């Protein structure tokens, strides 16, 4: 078994694959809740969204933990926290899921000055 670190291309490939899976499962999850599918049928999609989110966090953390205190990492942690709340706030699941989608969209498209702003360093850190 190789202990070589992942190349930039390999990390990017894994990131794209996991992000695609994450978008797919969260889309199914949100649609299922909006259209009133059963909780038992949707729980696997919830756990899929949590799981793919955790994998995306691990991929980001692989190159260092600085992203965690940057705008991009903080939004990821907020989205994961919201997903983890759903089993305990089931009646609020649709608004929570819409909030997660909104945060994902904002986080993916916000300018670098916010995306890479570090709350610890109090400046943009790339």
- What is the dihedral angle through the alpha carbons of 86, 105, 75, 84, rounded to the nearest 10 degrees? 10
Is the per-residue pLDDT at 85 higher than 90?
yes
Q: Which of 63, 57, 52, 80 is nearest to 6 (CA)?
A: 63
Is the per-residue pLDDT at 14 higher than 90?
no
pTM for the whole thing? 0.76
Lowest mean pLDDT among 8-17, 34-43, 69-78, 89-98: 8-17
Q: Write down the H helix ranges in the chain.
A: 8-34, 39-62, 71-85, 93-109, 112-115
Q: Provide the 10 A C-beta neighbour count for residue 63.
A: 12
With H, G, I as helix, E, B as strand and everything else as coil, classify residue 112.
helix
Mean pLDDT computed over every residue of the chain? 88
pLDDT of 1 reads 55
């Amino acid at each position: 078994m190789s202990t070589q670190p992942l190349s930039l291309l390999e990390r990017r490939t894994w990131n794209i694959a996991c992000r695609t899976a994450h978008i797919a499962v969260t889309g199914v999850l949100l649609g299922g809740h909006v259209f009133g599918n059963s909780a038992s049928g949707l729980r696997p999609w919830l756990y899929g969204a949590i799981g793919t989110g955790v994998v995306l966090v691990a991929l980001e953390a692989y190159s260092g933990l600085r992203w965690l205190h940057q705008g991009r990492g903080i939004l990821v942690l907020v989205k994961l926290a919201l997903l983890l709340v759903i089993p305990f706030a089931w009646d609020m699941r649709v608004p929570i899921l819409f909030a997660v989608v909104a945060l994902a969209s904002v986080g993916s498209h916000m300018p670098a000055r916010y995306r890479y702003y570090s709350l610890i360093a109090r400046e943009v850190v790339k």
